[in-house]
Amino acid sequence: MNLWVVLAVNSITLGGLLFLLSAGFSLIFGLMKIPNLTHGSFFMLGAYLATSLIAHGFDFWTAAILGGLLVAALGGIVERLILRRLVGAELAQVLVTLGLSFMIADVCLLVWTGDPIRIATPAALRGATSVMGLGFPTYRLAISLIAVVFAVLLWMLLDRTRLGAMIRAGVDDPAMARVVGIRVSRLFTIVFCLGAWLAGFAGVIGGPILSVYPGLDQEMLPLALVVVILGGSGSLVGSLVGSFVVGFLYNFGQAMFPELAYVVLFLPMLVVLVVRPQGLFGRQAV
C-alpha cells in the first residue's frame, strides 16, 4: 500500500485518539479553568488497568469501559478531595495535578514494571478491510469510527441536553450560571469524571496501537496541550479539528523529518499563538 495512504490512515487514527483525550481536557480547562496535567496519566493509567483486567479474563471492550470507569472514579476523588479546595488558585492546581501525575507514573512503574505491554487487538477487528480497492487495518478504521461516534455523542450532550446547556453556561459565565441556579460545583465533578473517563478509555483503545509503557503519559500530555492551544479551550469543534491537525503533523512530521518531529508539531501552535492567541475556535483569550 502507498506510503502516503498508510500515513494518512495512521494520522486519522491518532487524531481520533487525541480527540478522545483532549475533548475532556478542553472541557475541564474551559469550564473549571483547571490545567489538568494529570490528563496524560489518566490515559496511561486506563491502559494499564485494562491490561490487568484483560489478564483477569475480561474481554477488550468491557476492560476499556471498566478501565475508563476506574480512572473516572479516581478523577472524581481527586476533584472532590483536592482540586475542590483550590478553586481559583491556578498555580496550586498546576502543581497539584503535576505532583499527582508524578505519583501515578511512579505507582504504575511499581505495579506494571518498566516493560512495554501491548494490549491484544480484539479478535473481530484483526486483519484488513478493503475499501475502494485498498486494504486498511480494520482496527485503525474502528478507532476512527469510535472517535466520530463520540464526537457526535459529545456534541449532542453539549448541544441538545439540559446538562449540556448548563455546562455551556458554566463555560461562558460561571458566576451568572450560579445566579440562575445551576449547581456549578456539581457540574465540575461531572465534567472532570467525564474527561477522566474519556482519557482512560482512549488509553485502552489506543493500547493495541501504541502499547503501554512508562513515559506514555508525558508523551500524550503535550499533544493534548497542543490540541487545546490550537483549537481553543472549551470548544468541541476546536478539539476535533486540533486533534486531526496534530495527528497529521505528528505522523507526517515523523516520517519526513524524524529528528524534528517535535518541532514540526509545535510550529503551527506557535503560529496560532501569535496570530490568534485564543485558539482557532476559542471565544476568549486563554
Partner 1 sequence: MRRLALAAALAILGTVPWWIGGTYYINIASQILFYAIFALGVNVLAGYAGLVSLGHAGLFGIAAYAGARIMNDGHGQLVVAAGALGVTLLVSAAFAVLALRGTGLGFVMITVALGQIVWGVAYRWISITNGDNGIAIRGRPSPLGLSLTTPASFYWATFVVFLLAVGSMAVFVASPFGASVRGTRDQPLRMNALGYHVWMIRFLAFLFSGFWSGVAGLLYLYYNQFVSPQAVALTASAEALLMVIAGGTATLLGPIAGAALVVVVKNVASAYIERWNFVLGAIFVVIVVFMPEGLVPGTVRRWRRALAALRPRPTAAG
DSSP string for 31-59: HH----TTHHHHHHHHHHHHHHHHHTT--
143 within 8 A of 16, measured Cβ to Cβ: yes
Q: Indicate which single residue of 218, 248, 252, 268 sits in contact with partner 1 (rule: CB under 8 A).
A: 218
255 interacts with partner 1 by CB under 8 A: no
| Selected binder of partner 1 within 8, 69, 86, 184 (CB under 8 A) | 86
Q: Is the dihedral of CA 22, 74, 154, 44 positive or negative?
A: positive
Among residues 105, 167, 193, 216, which is the contact residue for partner 1, using CB under 8 A? Answer: 105
Cell numbers placing 15: 487524531
Cβ 236 to partner 1 shortest distance, Å? 19
**Rounded Cα–Cα distance for residues 66 and 49 (Å):** 9
Q: Which of 65, 69, 94, 117 binds partner 1 (CB under 8 A)?
A: 94
Contact 20, 199 (CB under 8 A): yes
Q: How far is the CB of 87 from partner 1 (least distance, A)?
A: 13
Q: What angle do CA 135, 140, 141 make, to 5 degrees?
A: 70
Name the amino acid, one letter, at 142. A
Q: Is 44 near partner 1 (CB under 8 A)?
A: no
- Is position 270 an interface residue for partner 1 (rule: CB under 8 A)? yes
Report if residue 110 touches partner 1, rule: CB under 8 A. yes
**Contact between 273 and partner 1 (CB under 8 A)?**
yes
Strand partners of residue 137: 128
Residues recorded for the chain: 286
CB of 225 to partner 1, least distance (A): 6
Is the CB of 65 or the CB of 94 nearer to partner 1? 94
Check binding of 188 to partner 1 (CB under 8 A): no
Q: Computed over its alpha carbons, how large is the radius of gyration of the chain? A: 18
Least distance between partner 1 and beta carbon 80 (Å):
13
280 binds partner 1 (CB under 8 A): no
Q: Is 284 helix (H, G, I), strand (E, B) or coil?
A: coil
Is 284 a binder of partner 1 (CB under 8 A)?
no
Q: Give the ranges where 82-215 is alpha helix by DSSP (H).
A: 90-112, 138-160, 162-172, 174-179, 184-210
The residue from 71, 225, 240, 246 that contacts partner 1 (CB under 8 A) is 225
> Where on the chain is the footprint of partner 1 (CB under 8 A)?
29, 33, 35, 37, 82, 85-86, 89-92, 94-96, 98-103, 105-107, 110, 218, 221-222, 225-226, 228-229, 258-263, 265-266, 269-270, 273-274, 277, 285-286
